[in-house]
Structure 1
Amino acid sequence: MEVIKFLLALTCLLLVYSEAVPFCDKKELVVGGNETSWTIPLSNNSFNEWANTIDEFVQGDTLTFRFDNKTDSVLEVSGLDYEACETSRPIKEYRDGNTTIELECCGHFYFISGAPGHCEKGQKLDIFVNPDLVCYWRTRPLGYPH
């Protein structure tokens, strides 16, 4: 009988907890919002303006960069190298033309173009994954109320 009471209490606790914890849908985002948008932008800050249209970046979201891999690349860099448009010390370099990067942890992610002069013309992106937002990826159907 005690085992049944314990299991019932545990089930109730899990049900209450599952409603109190925010559930998030992982987002799969194409940087810039269209098919071949990782190019020199029309305005100097347009990639960050695009990022500001996203409600919140959470751990597990993915960013897809689509670009001409014969003339360009994506470099993940430090904050200092982002500000200076420094391409010589990338954390990671992507050259395939269709790069998908998962935001695996919280904090800032900085991306710049690897093509000469492109970063200085605004081809760069600063993403912030909120460490205060703890999300558990949705495992129930999207229509389920939460």
Structure 2
Amino acid sequence: MGISFLVGDDSLRFVYDSNTTNVLEVTSTNYMSCNATSPLASYNTGNDTIPITKEGYQYFISGNSVECDNGLKVGIWASNSSYVRFWRSGPAYGPDGYINVPDFD
């Protein structure tokens, strides 16, 4: 099973060189094609924490088209499920109920 994101509990953190790229939230169509021309939201500090505030799919891409074409993008599914909330309180998670996703350098 993959990581379960919870509305109101989780956030995504993007750390990157703001001189070469930014992070864009886009539609699923623009995610698939790495189209950065009409983002839903744009982040550009180089250290952005984006709270998960809605249920469903969300898509994020690098604003640098070469990086996005090379796979620097992520799509997530967020839920507001009480079952997932209960499941995440189990022993597979740390004492605070969260896990860390490793860096991929």
TM-score band by shorter chain is 0.7 to 0.9
Determine if the alignment matches structure 1 residue 62 to structure 2 residue 11. yes
Indicate the residue corresponding to 2:71 in structure 1. 122
Q: What amino acid is the match of 1:103?
A: I
Shift of 1:116: 2.6
Determine if the alignment matches structure 1 residue 80 to structure 2 residue 7. no
Contact 2:34 2:65 in 1 (8 A): no
The separation in 2 between residues aligned to 1:68 and 1:62, in whole angstroms, is 20
Partner SS state of residue 32, structure 2:
helix
Segments of 4+ moved more than 6 angstroms: none
> Which structure is higher in strand share?
2
Using structure 1 for the length normalisation, give the TM-score.
Answer: 0.54
Partner SS state of residue 5, structure 2:
coil
Q: Which runs of 5+ in 2 are unaligned?
A: 90-94, 97-105
Whose Rg is larger? 1
Using structure 2 for the length normalisation, give the TM-score.
Answer: 0.73
Query: How many residue pairs get matched?
Result: 85
**CA-atom RMSD, angstroms?**
2.0
Q: Which runs of 5+ in 1 are unaligned?
A: 1-51
> Which structure is higher in helix share?
1
Indicate the residue corresponding to 1:109 in structure 2. 58
